Structure 1
Amino acid sequence: MSSRIQPTLAARVWGGTRLRTLVPGAGEAMRASREPIGEAWFGDADESRRGVLVKLLDVHERLSVQLHPDNTLAAELHGPGAIGKHEAWVILDASPDATLLLGRDPSVAASDVAAAVAAGRGVEQLLARIPVVAGDVLDVPPGLLHALLPDILVWEVQQPTERTYRVADWGRGDPTRPLHRTESARALNPDALGRVDAHLDWSTPGEQRLLRTPHFDIHAIVGPFTGAITGELHHAGDTIATHVTQPGVADAIAPVRLRDLELAAWSSAHLADVAEVVVPAGSTLLIAIGR
């Protein structure tokens, strides 16, 4: 049986105000807080399980330049059972001039990136600045330097861990946000280049397969759509679906209907034994399938 996921809002120095009112069912204490809200979590960072963690990110200020280890390095540095972090983004909304940093700038030598990470300075200017629009899908494997930049709303899928190595934090000097120079140098893939890997076509109703990684797949079902979903989704183990509205669509729209529950906009659920789905016009069901 499918089950709705209780969201958790998280304050972040780089966050904004949208998630307070956008995400239904979040705690009232956090809604009343004056702190910027950066993340809505659907699930938890439980490294004892395989699967996925899904988040909504409201990026109002720059995130740190960071990267993540793979499973092998995580276990070496943090002990048996520790896992790495492979993640991916689907851009849900972006300002007309929105960009993000992802991977080495192709004009920069990999050795220069490695030296900058080891020295802990000058990394930002060596990275590729990639323009993004709503619907873009970007793979962020372990070892790839990245930083989300302002005015972007993101649906993020990741392995269930918060293991992040900060390389630079734009001079914030916040003692609660330490840098990880040694770990970053170990985790870095200096050759890695970033790119937009796929694009969600909001205008074409039906199922779209957007991304396949070693740890999860991403699908979308664009409304209006009524019908059976693929066997891959139907029989998937750890699967989380989020109902999002399409760009330019008001939030007060009909819920997505699954066999055993209705899912309001900006809500998520664990999917199980779902053979048919009803996605209304103006809505999209984003689906993360953990391996």
Structure 2
Amino acid sequence: MKDVLYPIKFHPILKEKIWGGQKLKQLLDKESSLPNVGESWEISDVEGDCSIVANGMLKGTTLNELLKTYKAKLIGEKNYKVFNDKFPLLIKFIDANKDLSIQLHPNDTLAKKRHDSFGKTEMWYVMQADEDANLIIGFNQDLNLETYLKHQKNKTLPSILNFEKVKSGDTFFIDGGRVHAIGAGTMLAEIQQTSDITYRIYDWDRVDANGHARELHNDLVIDAIDFNMPNNFKVSYGKTKNKANKMVACSYFTTNYLEVEGLLHKENHNDSFLIYICVEGKAEILTEEKTVAVKAGETVLLPAALKTFKIKAEKAKLLEVYI
């Protein structure tokens, strides 16, 4: 095979969830026979859920096979030295028809110790929200472990949680260790470290069709929860057209907001892959070798070896992600 020098799209991996709904199928044109689709994994190297190329000469190849074949040409020299043959990010669309469980994720140190895994720092970009939809992030008061455990025992955790009403375009950054949940009526794009480790602490006393409640992870939470995080989780960002507007920059990923009108010439000056998540409208990504169309609800990966390209759109909103 010759070098990968074209924008790569993958088949979405759709997940049935107890809290899922119809928006991913109805609003983002995801094809599925599942009754309640909660998540669409767009780019994944999670074991058992590895993305498969959907376009071009590499169609049918898994993301992990791409990485093992092309190494730094796919993700960049520095990234390959750190992550080797493991793709570092997981990209999803999520539809919460009902409230998700109250949960948190371990940081890198704890995840490595307990699960031999990356931790899970993530961000959310709200694509659509019903009236009065909200998210839960953090607490509405200063807490210590003793007070938290008292509320946990009494099943009064919702009374100490911080609820944030949301609308389209709202963006949030969630560190490992921060309590959070997506509220009913919210559809969003999620960018996160490659990890599927979640500690569930409260699930609204729900049971499945067989009367079984989902497992809680209260013992694991004690060492993982961080009560001292500042309330800096809501992200403010510029919206200058045809320019990469910085949203989030952390050691795990950088995400920019990019609103394209017309033809935009782009250069990748980073030693990294680029990911474009289309959150509104449609666009074309043009390289010397290939033109790839992307519409709202689609995601495309540009290999690190691809340094110059163009983005063309009448009007499109994209999230640009790299490390």
Q: Please classify the TM superposition score into its range, dividing by the shorter chain length.
A: 0.7 to 0.9
Return closer, same or farther for 1:189/1:210 CA change in 2, 3 Å cut-off: same
> What does residue 92 of structure 1 align with?
127
Task: Give the deviation of 1:15 after TM superposition.
Answer: 1.1
2:294 to 264, 271, 275: 264
CA RMSD, 1 decimal: 2.4
Note the C-alpha offset of 1:193. Answer: 4.4
2:226 is aligned, of 182, 189, 200, to 189
Sequence identity percentage: 23
Q: Return the TM-score normalized by structure 1.
A: 0.84
Q: 2:308 aligns with which of 268, 275, 289?
A: 275
Aligned to 1:249: none
Q: Could you list the runs of 5+ residues in structure 2 that have no partner in the other structure?
A: 48-84
Trace 1:1-291 onto structure 2 (pairs within 5 A). 1=5, 2-23=7-28, 31-33=32-34, 35-46=35-46, 49-78=86-115, 81-105=116-140, 107-111=141-145, 114-116=148-150, 119=153, 121-174=155-208, 175=212, 177-199=214-236, 204-232=241-269, 235-245=270-280, 254-259=282-287, 260-265=290-295, 266-272=297-303, 273-290=306-323
Specify the structure having the higher radius of gyration (Cα): 2
Partner-residue secondary structure (3-state), 1:11: strand
Instruction: Identify if the C-alpha distance between structure 1 residues 3 and 237 changes in structure 2 by more than 3 Å, giving closer, same or farther.
Output: same
Note the C-alpha offset of 1:134: 1.3
Cα displacement string for residues 144-199 of structure 1 (whole angstroms, at most 9, x for unaligned residues): 00011011110100111110000000111344731100111110001224455324
Distance 1:164 1:14 in 2: 16
State the aligned residue count.
273
Partner Cα separation in structure 2 for residue 188 and residue 254 of structure 1:
40
SS in 2 for 1:171: coil
Match of 1:250 in 2: none
Residue identity opposite 2:38 in structure 1: G
Which structure is higher in RCO with an 8 Å CA cutoff and minimum separation 6?
A: 1
Q: Describe the SS at the equivalent of 1:223.
A: strand
Deviations 1:211-260 (A, max 9, x none): 0122111112202142233544xx44243211221xxxxxxx65322323
Structure 1 residues 96 and 23 mapped into 2: Cα distance closer, same or farther (>3 Å)?
closer
Structure 1: any 5+ residue segments left out of the alignment? 246-252
The whole-number CA distance in structure 2 between the counterparts of 1:77 and 1:11 is: 27
The answer to whether the Cα contact below 8 Å between 2:239 and 2:245 also exists between their aligned partners in 1 is no
**Structure 2 residue matching 1:114: 3-state secondary structure:** helix
Q: In the aligned structure 1, how far is the partner of 2:234 from the partner of 2:203?
A: 26
For 1:177 and 1:103, the matched residues in 2 are separated by 22
